[in-house]
């Protein structure tokens, strides 16, 4: 990985206070409220989270067995399996499938892993047209922008922005009415679904025993992408697997509620092999690409549990730092607390030394994470490693300096205060003496003055001209 063009702090400082970052913050707060309501409404939530955690950790501890079982099941169904060591191998294989299928037009459903391997760029370089079908991703693609959230990619866009984009790029009359914008996208993309030669999807979960893959979407683009084109290519990180389809059911119990506050995402699509004899429709060919690309390194790391992540986005939504700086400041496709842990270990620390510090250790992410991944503990672990590495981050020492780093940056500071009050731990105008759990490491170093919000910010503005 090449060095980042700028640091998290620089990017964050540029983003904070912008309309874009504010829109992301509002959206994240809204999603947090929706999650909270769904959790209250479902008495089994806690028990399901515990079971989801147990299933995920059991799978990781036996991952080779389950990957092998899953591959056998796919092949028994008549599907093709490709094991990709890295992004290049995955992309080469998919290029080959597209070549054989003579696929000029390819339709895609939003997936983190295909963004990770930058599949679109590779296919486009071969002269193929690749169209993102999720409304948000379609906007991102048309605008040549980047997603700001793993579940809601255009959280940073206003309806006026979308209206102007559609008018400019699609040649339709300007409208900012969401229903009308939606209709424009429907009409435009419908032809593409029906005529595409190949559909590419990610995989939310995969069942090892049956070879079933789950692809969930609200819009129906996941179903269209995996039904209309003759060839379906599913790309998945190897950690998407759980032992059985019933275990997939447990994951679905917690995914929708945590992500958007829905008891189930609108379309929960369970795909078991290509079109069967006698089926009137569905893809004739199924290819499943199972990707390692750094995951075995993560599996062997102190933070291996982060592979239990189900990509619900709840930790982003609740994170005071994410809410302040938005998704782009993180510099990689995985933002927020999970990104701050995953990106350095998956893509390398180089240029990402600050990510573990993009956190106030408020513990809110652990509270909401469905499989209860202890992200704050992992961030402390990564800080220690960054500090031990020395030079690249020499200006920022070990844990104690984390406070200074935070306090000298209004972005982080605001994050810290918001986060603490969110957790109901702030004593406004008083002092934080002890934060529970992971915050201990922080407050053990020195007491942290909790400023009255207004006066501190005014003071900051006056003195630092922020």
Partner 1 sequence: MEREAFLSRVRSAIDLSRLPEGSDTDPGPLVPDLPPVDLVERFANALETVSGTLHVGEGLAAIDHIIERYSPGPLLAWDDGELPITGASQRFLDAGCGLIDGTVPSSADGRVDHQRGYFDVKYGLTGAEAAFAETGSIVVRSGLGRPRMASLIPLIHIVLLPEDRIFRSPMHWLTEPGSDAAGAANVVYITGPSRTADIEQKITLGVHGPRELHVILVPA
- Under the binding rule (CB under 6 A), the answer on residue 312 touching ligand SF4 is yes
Binding region for partner 1 (CB under 8 A) out of 5-13, 52-60, 316-324, 349-357: 52-60
Size of the site for partner 1 (CB under 8 A): 111
At how many degrees (to 10) do helices 45-61 and 63-76 cross? 90
Closest distance between partner 1 and the C-beta of residue 58, in Å?
5
Among residues 175, 244, 421, 443, the one that binds partner 1 under rule CB under 8 A: 244
Among residues 21, 162, 236, 426, the one that binds partner 1 under rule CB under 8 A: 162
- Under the binding rule (CB under 6 A), the answer on residue 222 touching ligand SF4 is no
Size of the site for ligand SF4 (CB under 6 A): 13
Distances in Å between the alpha carbon of 280 and those of 89, 274, 275, 341? 34, 12, 8, 45
Cα–Cα distance for residue pair 466/460, rounded to 1 Å:
7
On whether the CB atoms of residues 197 and 179 are closer than 8 A, the answer is: no
Q: Which is nearer to partner 1, 38 or 386 (CB)?
A: 38
Closest distance between ligand SF4 and the C-beta of residue 188, in Å?
30
Binding region for partner 1 (CB under 8 A) out of 6-14, 40-48, 118-126, 332-340: 40-48
Binding mask 276-295 for ligand SF4 (x = CB under 6 A): --------------------
Among residues 133, 324, 343, 354, the one that binds partner 1 under rule CB under 8 A: 133
Q: Decide which of ligand SF4, partner 1, none touches 197; Cβ closer than 5 to 8 Å per partner kind.
A: partner 1
Cα-Cα end-to-end distance for the chain: 33
- Under the binding rule (CB under 6 A), the answer on residue 314 touching ligand SF4 is yes
- Under the binding rule (CB under 8 A), the answer on residue 281 touching partner 1 is yes
| The two three-digit tokens of residue 427, written as one number | 């004593």
Among residues 39, 309, 359, 420, the one that binds ligand SF4 under rule CB under 6 A: 309
Write out the binding residues for ligand SF4, residues 354-373 only, by CB under 6 A: 368-371, 373
Q: Decide which of partner 1, ligand SF4, none touches 297; Cβ closer than 5 to 8 Å per partner kind.
A: partner 1
- Under the binding rule (CB under 6 A), the answer on residue 55 touching ligand SF4 is no
Closest distance between ligand SF4 and the C-beta of residue 379, in Å?
12
Among residues 55, 71, 291, 310, the one that binds ligand SF4 under rule CB under 6 A: 310
Pairing of strands 205-207, 241-242: parallel
Closest distance between ligand SF4 and the C-beta of residue 257, in Å?
11
Cα–Cα distance for residue pair 466/446, rounded to 1 Å:
26
Residue 375: alpha-carbon gap to chain centroid: 14
Closest distance between partner 1 and the C-beta of residue 262, in Å?
7
Closest distance between ligand SF4 and the C-beta of residue 309, in Å?
3
Write out the binding residues for partner 1, residues 166-185 only, by CB under 8 A: 178-179, 181-182, 185
Q: Decide which of partner 1, ligand SF4, none touches 358; Cβ closer than 5 to 8 Å per partner kind.
A: none
Cα–Cα distance for residue pair 422/6, rounded to 1 Å:
30
Among residues 115, 116, 132, 219, the one that binds partner 1 under rule CB under 8 A: 219
Q: Which is nearer to partner 1, 260 or 406 (CB)?
A: 260
Q: Which is nearer to ligand SF4, 11 or 53 (CB)?
A: 53
Q: Which is nearer to partner 1, 37 or 444 (CB)?
A: 37
Cα–Cα distance for residue pair 264/254, rounded to 1 Å:
9
- Under the binding rule (CB under 8 A), the answer on residue 265 touching partner 1 is yes
Q: Decide which of partner 1, ligand SF4, none touches 313; Cβ closer than 5 to 8 Å per partner kind.
A: ligand SF4
Binding mask 370-389 for ligand SF4 (x = CB under 6 A): xx-x----------------
Q: Decide which of partner 1, ligand SF4, none touches 441; Cβ closer than 5 to 8 Å per partner kind.
A: none
Binding site for ligand SF4 (CB under 6 A): 309-315, 338, 368-371, 373
């Amino acid at each position: 990985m090449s060095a980042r063009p700028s640091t998290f702090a620089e990017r964050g400082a540029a983003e904070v206070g912008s309309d874009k970052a504010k829109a992301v913050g509002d959206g994240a707060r809204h999603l947090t409220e929706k999650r909270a309501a769904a959790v209250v409404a479902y008495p089994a939530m806690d028990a399901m989270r515990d079971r989801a955690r147990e299933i995920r950790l059991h799978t990781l501890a036996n991952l080779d067995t389950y990957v092998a079982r899953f591959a056998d099941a796919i092949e028994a169904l008549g599907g093709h399996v490709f094991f990709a060591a890295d992004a290049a191998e995955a992309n080469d294989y998919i290029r080959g499938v597209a070549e054989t299928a003579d696929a000029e037009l390819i339709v895609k459903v939003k997936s983190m892993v295909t963004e990770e391997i930058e599949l679109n760029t590779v296919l486009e370089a071969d002269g193929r047209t690749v169209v993102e079908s999720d409304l948000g991703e379609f906007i991102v693609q048309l605008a040549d922008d980047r997603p700001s959230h793993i579940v809601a990619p255009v959280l940073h866009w206003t309806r006026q922005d979308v209206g102007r984009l559609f008018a400019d790029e699609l040649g339709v009359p300007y409208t900012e009415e969401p229903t009308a914008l939606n209709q424009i996208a429907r009409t435009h993309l419908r032809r593409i679904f029906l005529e595409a030669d190949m559909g590419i999807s990610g995989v939310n979960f995969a069942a090892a025993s049956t070879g079933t893959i789950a692809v969930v979407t609200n819009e129906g683009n996941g179903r269209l992408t995996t039904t209309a084109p003759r060839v379906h290519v599913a790309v998945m990180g190897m950690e998407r697997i759980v032992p059985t389809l019933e275990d997939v059911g447990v994951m679905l119990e917690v995914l929708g509620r945590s992500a958007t506050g829905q008891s189930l995402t609108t379309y929960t699509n369970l795909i078991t092999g290509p079109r069967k004899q006698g089926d009137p429709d569905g893809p004739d060919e199924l290819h499943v690409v199972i990707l390692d690309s750094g995951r075995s390194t993560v599996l062997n790391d102190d933070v291996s549990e982060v592979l239990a992540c189900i990509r619900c986005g709840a930790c982003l939504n609740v994170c005071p730092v994410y809410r302040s700086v938005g998704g782009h400041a993180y510099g990689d496709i995985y933002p927020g607390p999970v990104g701050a842990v995953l990106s350095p270990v998956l893509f390398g620390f180089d240029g990402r030394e600050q990510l573990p510090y993009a956190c106030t250790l408020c513990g809110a992410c652990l509270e909401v994470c469905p499989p209860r991944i202890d992200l704050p503990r992992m961030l402390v672990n990564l800080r220690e490693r960054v500090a031990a590495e020395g030079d690249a981050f020499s200006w920022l020492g070990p844990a104690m300096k984390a406070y200074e780093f935070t306090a000298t940056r209004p972005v982080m500071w605001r994050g810290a205060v918001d986060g603490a009050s969110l957790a109901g731990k702030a004593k406004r105008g008083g002092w934080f003496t002890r934060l529970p759990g992971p915050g201990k490491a922080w407050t053990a170093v020195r007491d942290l003055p909790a400023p009255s919000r207004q006066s501190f910010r005014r003071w900051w503005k006056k003195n630092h001209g922020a």
